[in-house]
Structure 1
Amino acid sequence: MPSGSNEEFGVYLAHLRRRAGKSQRRLAEILCDLSGCPTVTRHEISRYERGRRMPRYWLPYLAEALEVSLDELERRTSAESFVHGISEDVVPGPPFGVSTGRRIGADMVTDLLTRIHRLRLADDVLAGGDLAGPALRELDAAVALHRTGDFSEQVGRALLAAISELAQVVGWIASDAGLDQRAEEIYRLGVSAAREAGDRTSAANLVGSLAYHRTNVGALETGLELAVAAIEEGGRRAPPRAEALFWDRVAWAYAKTEQASAAIQALGRASEALSRHGGEEDPAYLYWVDEGELQIMEARVHVELRRPLRAVPLLTEVLGRYDSTHTRELALYLSWLSVALADANEPEEAAHTARRVLELSADMPSGRTARRSQVVLARLRPFHDVPEVRDVIDGYGCRVREPVHDAQGWER
């Protein structure tokens, strides 16, 4: 068995646990108490001990729980193990092969990174249906460049890291375009590229993106498992803004599975992580993670948990300063405000806000806004006798397509 493998560490962890006289369930409870967030279960401990997953994020808590030094636990894990992160059965990805061809230099990778960031900025103001074609072609070209190019080891790793960043953007765009299966394939490809490049933060971001995608298409349990896995993939050395983003996705997954206490605790972990950001330079894909975005997620979580009195003030404050050129996000955030107002028994205001959502979304080729428009209309229907609500439902109800999902949670 190779030194530092997941399997070897699992055997060692089981030995420590038994020596400490703790069951798997008891160890899971202790880790939850020490970390302040109930994301570890007995089944997770079993996965660690069978070598199915490496508990990197939890190493300091394991050291304390099992009365062993953190240095010793980290020594038992190799650099190779850290690259792979969560097991391939959770997020498998295609291997990257290289054949001799066009000579690729660092300048071409720099050019690709520039195009990737331009694509991110375009996504701020355009919907997925507008960008999917160019974005998919960009990804195909980048993957072909890696598979057929000739380059040094250093350039190859940089190219893989760039492909992983591109996959995150293109996966997001594909998801917004309603290409659910294609989005998942792209996210998995990105995870594979990031792991080969040794970029743990990018790999975790992609696992978290896949988690968010799966949660939003209705695969709630898988989404939650992946969101927690992203925390482990990123490890304790992830940049603060990345860690904040990962915990936000965990909070969302818990909210969608109606686990209120765990969702609120995860929001707290996100806020605490962001507070440690001291202005240091982060990966470019974290440019949008700030206090405002965490506030929006907090509000959305409260909406999902049917706590409108907390959600409405937060959303009203954020929307008061939101950039109106980001039309899709504006429509999405207004949709949560409309639902919260309906939950607060304010149907007239809910209808007024819903009208804005539906007008903004009317000609937008976005699967996300289409789903949210349907949610808004469904939430308004119990108030159909209210004239303002009836006008909105009668005027827009026939224009909004209701998503249909198969048994696996994919939209058809």
Structure 2
Amino acid sequence: MPGGERRCPGCGCRLSRYNPDTSCASCARTAPAAPSPVSVVPDGVWQDPRVLDALRAGDFGRLSRRIRHLATLRQQDLADLTGLSQSFLSLLESGTRRLTNIDKVAAFLDGVSAPADLVAVHLPGRMPPTRLADSTDDSGATDPSLPWTAHRMVTALADAVEGPTMERRNFLTATGLALTAYIHHWSTAETEPLERAVAGARIPDSLLDHLQATTDHLRLMDASDGSGALADLGKAHLNVLLRLLRQGSYREATGRRLAAITADTAAQTGWFTFDSGHPVAAQRYLLGALRAAHAGADVRLGAGALSYLAIHGYSTGRPRDAVVAARAAREKIRHLDAPALHAMLLTRQARGHAKLGERQAALKALGQAAEHCSRGRSEHDPHWLYWMQDGEIHSQAGSCHLDLGEPAPALDSLVRAREAHNPAEARTRALIMSRASIAHIRNGDLEAGCTTAHDALTLAERLRSARLRDHLEDIAEELAPYRDTPPARDLTERVIATLPLTEGRT
């Protein structure tokens, strides 16, 4: 500069040659503070037996405490690394809260630099596991390349009921290529004859009618009460079906129907298990349900299992898996005039696209879903898809807009969904209201957001659903910037008090 003239880089004013600072006093006051150096977790932490034990047990509160002790970190340091709030970590370490949301689990493990070979959850920026099981899974029941026979179907479902070994329970999961391989084999493998001739009475149609009615009744209970108390009932019912498949005497038509009821029951049990907060165990049921649907030669039940796998995908940080599953199901049923089934699968695909930030693809899928839904049901639509109607389209559209960062259209859709849904379906209404509460808050209307959240909490107090619990936790996080206001403070206290009541247990 001429004559050694110096100017402030912030506002451009001329600085005195005698001013030792590099900016003027005004800019210096408003300049952001220099970021503090980011702490890291040393590699040696992952050789500590107590860390490994906490990781295997999925006890993230104990894991957090041990990591901080070994790495000499404050809770705020760990909050900066993981993206979780310091207050949440405090509750986590005290045992008051649990870390069950798979997105937050992934964020925590990635933030503390957990080695990829110790966990099988898909961490951001890391290669997801491509095998469905490893050497600790002796049955091989979940290997998609094994023959798609009735025996293998029963083995896979028995494996789901009994559960994997304790060491693998928290982290064994199928993603990416492994899930794609499973779907491919379901779609292309030949179906073997399904009959069993042994001494004794044959399985009558009347018994199959009662077995299907039990599955249908459990499904209706789930819609009104949540899945917290149903996973064990579904498991017990599935055990009865597996015993009949193993020990009963039946011809081809009866065997196919028995396998179809088994597929329906396995998919529902997988859903109950997922809604109870156990996504890894849930996936094993759903993959087994695919095998049972294949044995029963019922593509609609296979599509239903894939729709739950799609929900599993976009809810556990794997939205691309959701898109893959929904598209594969739609391709398999493309010849069926089943508008409700097509509409349902398109909403699942839309949710995956929205989570990925693919706005045009999400809106296109929602539009196609609405077109199919407007046609009403046909005789080819499955009886278990009774709930697919305009309210469901609006509900899924609202969730998509929230994921896309569009609270105003999200709120419009969720209000329509609330008006259209059956009041008896308490969990569904609570979920819709919790999303609407978040949309209100993001739209700048804190009062409406709190009022709507209180309505959701009134329903939540008598429901047991891990998904609903996660939504309530999301509301609490949305309220964090307003914590000093009485409405937000009162609502947050009520959310914390309600969370234990919504805990789903199997």
> TM-score over 0.5 for the alignment?
yes
**Does the CA contact (< 8 Å) of 1:244 and 1:270 recur in 2?**
yes
Deviations 1:286-317 (A, max 9, x none): 11111221121112211221222212222223
The correspondence for 1:368, drawn from 467, 471, 479, is 467
1:290 aligns with 2:389: yes
**Does the CA contact (< 8 Å) of 1:86 and 1:232 recur in 2?**
no
**Does the CA contact (< 8 Å) of 1:211 and 1:224 recur in 2?**
yes
CA-CA distance at 1:224 after TM superposition: 2.7
Unaligned runs of 5+ in 2: 1-144, 146-180, 501-506
Q: Within 2, Cα distance between the matches of 1:91 and 1:370?
A: 39
Cα distance change of structure 1 residues 342 and 272 upon mapping to structure 2, 3 Å threshold: same
Q: Within 2, Cα distance between the matches of 1:111 and 1:100?
A: 23
Q: Within 2, Cα distance between the matches of 1:208 and 1:234?
A: 13
Q: Higher relative contact order at CA 8 Å, sep ≥6: structure 1 or structure 2?
A: 1
**Does the CA contact (< 8 Å) of 2:197 and 2:250 recur in 1?**
no
**Does the CA contact (< 8 Å) of 1:315 and 1:337 recur in 2?**
yes
1:151 aligns with 2:250: yes
Q: Name 1:346's counterpart in structure 2.
A: 445
Cα distance change of structure 1 residues 276 and 88 upon mapping to structure 2, 3 Å threshold: same
CA-CA distance at 1:360 after TM superposition: 2.6
Q: Within 2, Cα distance between the matches of 1:125 and 1:158?
A: 28
Q: Within 1, Cα distance between the matches of 2:187 and 2:253?
A: 28
Deviations 1:85-104 (A, max 9, x none): 94139999xx9996846521
What is the letter of the counterpart of residue 389 of structure 1? A
Q: Name 2:488's counterpart in structure 1.
A: 389
Where in structure 1 do 4 or more consecutive aligned residues deviate above 4 Å? 89-92, 95-99
Cα distance change of structure 1 residues 347 and 90 upon mapping to structure 2, 3 Å threshold: farther
The correspondence for 1:379, drawn from 474, 478, 483, is 478
The correspondence for 1:88, drawn from 185, 195, 219, is 185
Q: Name 1:167's counterpart in structure 2.
A: 266
What is the letter of the counterpart of residue 277 of structure 1? G
What is the letter of the counterpart of residue 184 of structure 1? Q
CA-CA distance at 1:145 after TM superposition: 1.0
**Does the CA contact (< 8 Å) of 2:270 and 2:285 recur in 1?**
yes
1:8-407 matched pairs, under 5 angstroms: 86-88=183-185, 100=198, 103-237=202-336, 239-277=338-376, 279-280=378-379, 282-397=381-496, 400=499
CA-CA distance at 1:230 after TM superposition: 2.0
**Does the CA contact (< 8 Å) of 1:201 and 1:238 recur in 2?**
no
Q: Within 2, Cα distance between the matches of 1:90 and 1:174?
A: 25
SS in 2 for 1:306: coil
Cα distance change of structure 1 residues 383 and 143 upon mapping to structure 2, 3 Å threshold: same
* TM-score, normalising length: structure 1: 0.71
CA-CA distance at 1:185 after TM superposition: 1.1
Q: Within 1, Cα distance between the matches of 2:367 and 2:335?
A: 16
What is the letter of the counterpart of residue 213 of structure 2? T
* TM-score, normalising length: structure 2: 0.58
Unaligned runs of 5+ in 1: 1-51, 53-83, 402-412
Q: Within 1, Cα distance between the matches of 2:444 and 2:456?
A: 19
Q: Within 1, Cα distance between the matches of 2:460 and 2:377?
A: 37
What is the letter of the counterpart of residue 356 of structure 2? T
Give the aligned CA root-mean-square deviation in angstroms. 2.9
CA-CA distance at 1:182 after TM superposition: 2.1
Deviations 1:270-296 (A, max 9, x none): 112223335536321111111221121
Cα distance change of structure 1 residues 281 and 225 upon mapping to structure 2, 3 Å threshold: closer
**Does the CA contact (< 8 Å) of 2:339 and 2:378 recur in 1?**
no
Q: Within 2, Cα distance between the matches of 1:330 and 1:362?
A: 13
Q: Within 2, Cα distance between the matches of 1:269 and 1:142?
A: 37
**Greater Cα shift, 391-400 or 200-209:** 391-400
Cα distance change of structure 1 residues 187 and 356 upon mapping to structure 2, 3 Å threshold: same
What is the letter of the counterpart of residue 296 of structure 1? S
**Does the CA contact (< 8 Å) of 2:276 and 2:465 recur in 1?**
yes
Q: Within 1, Cα distance between the matches of 2:234 and 2:253?
A: 26
**Does the CA contact (< 8 Å) of 1:99 and 1:147 recur in 2?**
no
Q: Within 2, Cα distance between the matches of 1:373 and 1:380?
A: 11
The alignment covers a number of residue pairs equal to: 319
Q: Within 2, Cα distance between the matches of 1:180 and 1:144?
A: 25
Q: Within 1, Cα distance between the matches of 2:356 and 2:324?
A: 11
Cα distance change of structure 1 residues 120 and 398 upon mapping to structure 2, 3 Å threshold: closer
SS in 2 for 1:311: helix
Q: Within 2, Cα distance between the matches of 1:118 and 1:192?
A: 23
**Does the CA contact (< 8 Å) of 2:322 and 2:348 recur in 1?**
no
**Does the CA contact (< 8 Å) of 1:85 and 1:232 recur in 2?**
no
Q: Within 2, Cα distance between the matches of 1:237 and 1:395?
A: 48
CA-CA distance at 1:335 after TM superposition: 0.8
**Does the CA contact (< 8 Å) of 1:341 and 1:349 recur in 2?**
yes
What is the letter of the counterpart of residue 369 of structure 1? L
Deviations 1:342-365 (A, max 9, x none): 111111111222222234324532
CA-CA distance at 1:267 after TM superposition: 0.4
SS in 1 for 2:228: helix
Q: Within 1, Cα distance between the matches of 2:297 and 2:494?
A: 52
**Does the CA contact (< 8 Å) of 1:109 and 1:159 recur in 2?**
yes
Q: Within 1, Cα distance between the matches of 2:485 and 2:373?
A: 43
CA-CA distance at 1:238 after TM superposition: 5.1
Q: Within 2, Cα distance between the matches of 1:91 and 1:176?
A: 30
Q: Within 1, Cα distance between the matches of 2:258 and 2:429?
A: 34
